[in-house]
Structure 1
Amino acid sequence: MKQLKSLNVERKATEEIKAFLAGLPNLTNAHVVSHGIAGEPDDGIDIVVDSRFAGKPLRLIIEVKNNGQPRTVRNAAAQLHRYMRNHVTHAVPVVVAPYLSRQARDVCREEGVGYLDFMGNAFIASDSIYIERELPGQPEPERRALRSLYKPKSARVLRRLLREPGRGWRTAELAHAAGVSIGLVSNVGAALRERTWAEQTNEGLSLTDPNALLDSWSENYEPPRGEEFRLYTSLHGPALTERLRKLAMEDGRVALASFSAAQWLAPFVRHPNTYFYADEAGLDALGKSLEAKLSPKGANVIVVIPEEHGVLDDATCVAEDIVVTSPVQTYLDLVHSGDRGEEGAAELRRRLLDWPA
């Protein structure tokens, strides 16, 4: 219903549309009209633009949405197509929202509708016009929402889901497996469904687009917070590996990370340093086993004690007494490690995280 839609957003949309049209050199006689008024049923569109582009008639049929999440955008596209089947034939359907993510823009293209957001991203195509504009950046509300989704506690849920993307999880079952509250699982599930990355079926919550989730996470990734220790050891190669195998018998938790984890998961890029996540007892055990000393300069062993132990809980055993971070965590760390990390991340993803689209 029209009365449920934010009039402020619709007014802002009208302003953005007029400014957008004013910047098109070949467009003339633009007439922008709000379609319907507050209190009346929403028949599927909000704004109609009649104009001429390069001398030819151009009509835009526009639906405005308060948010540009992919599921909302898909529904808006269905509204537009339904309206056009019943009322008009020669027009360009367009979705307008405060912000449209890359995925939401892709949905618009898949559904055969144009788009415009308040950030300036735009795509309008017909027989007489083709406009495409992509601008970097995200509005602060979207950045906050994504930061919340990828916080350490929420990340526990995401890692568990990405381990078995096709599996359906009951809420309580997933909460227990991830070591978080049922309420948090519900919030994460809602955020994933809103972005069409997951669905809720009779079998439970399952991912529908793990690739999009991992892409977004890597773009917004923040390494686990914690204290970093830089050490030096004279051990390397097989000798270091043998010490790591003996380490498993000590108290504490230790997992190879980043380039060092990738050497076991998907060898591709060699790195002179050895990387770990560990708890405090694990750090002490590492220092003793590797005969490693603190060395601010010339360090070749980097150990992070994370404030939240999700990365350790998600670690996996890849060989006898050799524990590494999961493929997802290793991928995220590699992408943001600099050096040749992106190359290593791409190879790891090709081998272990290549999910059907």
Structure 2
Amino acid sequence: MFSSIYYISANAENMANNEKDPLNRAKKVLKETLGAVPFLELVSVKAYPGDAELLVELKYKGRRSDCAVAVKSLGQPKYAREAVYQLERRAAGRPGVYGIFMAPYISEGAGTILAEKKAGYMDFSGNCRLAFDGIYIERKGAPNAFAVKRDLRKLYSPKAARVLRVLLTGARRVWKMAQLSAEAGVSLGQTANVKAALAEREWLDASAPGLRLADPAAVLAQWAREYDFRKNIVRECYSVKSPAETEAGLEELCAGKGIPFALAGFSAAARLRPAVRYQRGMAYVGEFRPELLAAAGIKEVESGGNILLLLPYDAGVFYGSLKTPGGTVTGAVQTYLDLAGYKGRGEEAAAEILEHVIKPSW
């Protein structure tokens, strides 16, 4: 039980995000955040040579509490676990010291690891969770956009996403770097960057003699939270024909012109899982050609359309496309991504694809 609990408002003044000197930044954030807690006296924040870089001395109800702080440049699970080991070694020589992990941005997975190990954390914007000596301090929601965006680029840039599609589509397979790069159509360097980012999150199977995801469901769920099909160029269109007739005619015309094509979203889901119903079609087309649309009986409209045509933000969206009796559809992974953030019944259709198409393949 905690005798003193303090929740710091996320609307407090945001701290500037400066990662050029992590140790000095960590000192400043510790002083500003802990100094704002009314029932704590911040005695000092000083260097702590060895495995932990900083030592924080506090007083609470006249009693002293010491916190050892490990500072890292990245806040993914791999680095959080390393910090825990460092802090445990430090605590072995000084019983009663509470461990805190600090980084510019701390991921949800890292926070879970730290909580399990009974260690605290604080990011460079002052978001924190600290629980020691009957004290509980928590702050959530302070913006830390720069660190998050830089971190996400490693995994969700167009080229990185190609690697993810391959890994998620063939989740049982163990990949060699060269094979994976060739399959994804990216350089070895890009594949190495994705591998490093996955390893930081502990999303790779360490026992595999190559690259294989340890938890493909977690990888896909996180990607879906970051993905938005509107990153493609979206054209709202209308046809007097039924969606199925319009889609079949457009695919035939695209095939004749050598233009990449795949049904997407609800249109794809209905072919993969007949239980999915839809009234508005969606398809990826490699090129927008007015004469092609006209030949298919399709015209662009500002609103009230019954088919969305998407010009892909990257050709990777076509990876894993499948031939079905109802037409060519995007792979199950891409279909799920396009539906997961779609308003209306998109989440429901995405769940149908995940449970009945994707997970059985894992």
TM class by smaller structure: 0.7 to 0.9
Residue in 1 that maps onto 2:179: 173
Distance 1:122 1:283 in 2: 54
Distance 1:224 1:182 in 2: 29
Aligned partner of 2:282 among 251, 268, 275:
275
SS in 1 for 2:212: strand
Distance 1:237 1:7 in 2: 54
- Is this contact kept in 2: 1:147–1:220, CA < 8 A? no
Shift of 1:170: 0.6
- Is this contact kept in 1: 2:319–2:331, CA < 8 A? no
Gaps of 5+ in 1: 1-5, 37-42
Shift of 1:59: 2.2
Residue in 2 that maps onto 1:10: 23
SS in 2 for 1:207: coil
1:331 and 2:329 correspond: no
TM value normalised by structure 2 = 0.82
Distance 1:253 1:311 in 2: 11
> Which residue type is aligned with residue 114 of structure 1?
G
1:83 and 2:90 correspond: yes
Distance 1:11 1:245 in 2: 59
Change (3 A) 1:173 1:58: same
258-267 or 102-111, larger mean C-alpha shift = 258-267
- Is this contact kept in 2: 1:152–1:224, CA < 8 A? no
Distance 1:228 1:19 in 2: 46
SS in 2 for 1:204: coil
**1:158-307 aligned within 5 A:** 158-199=164-205, 203-223=209-229, 226-236=232-242, 250-251=256-257, 252-266=259-273, 270-280=277-287, 288=295, 291-307=297-313
Q: Quick one: higher RCO (CA 8 Å, sep 6+), 1 or 2?
A: 2
Change (3 A) 1:286 1:33: same
Shift of 1:92: 1.7
Change (3 A) 1:348 1:321: closer
Distance 2:237 2:42 in 1: 70
Shift of 1:264: 2.8
- Is this contact kept in 1: 2:246–2:297, CA < 8 A? no
> Which residue type is aligned with residue 11 of structure 1?
N
Distance 1:194 1:281 in 2: 40
Change (3 A) 1:104 1:266: farther
The percent identity for this pair of structures is: 34
Change (3 A) 1:229 1:33: closer
Alignment root-mean-square deviation, CA: 3.2
Residue in 2 that maps onto 1:3: none
Equivalent residue pairs, number: 343
Change (3 A) 1:227 1:219: closer
- Is this contact kept in 1: 2:247–2:281, CA < 8 A? no
Distance 2:314 2:56 in 1: 53
- Is this contact kept in 2: 1:230–1:302, CA < 8 A? yes
Q: Deviations over 1:248-284 (max 9, x none)?
A: 9745432111122222334676442100002239997
Gaps of 5+ in 2: 1-18
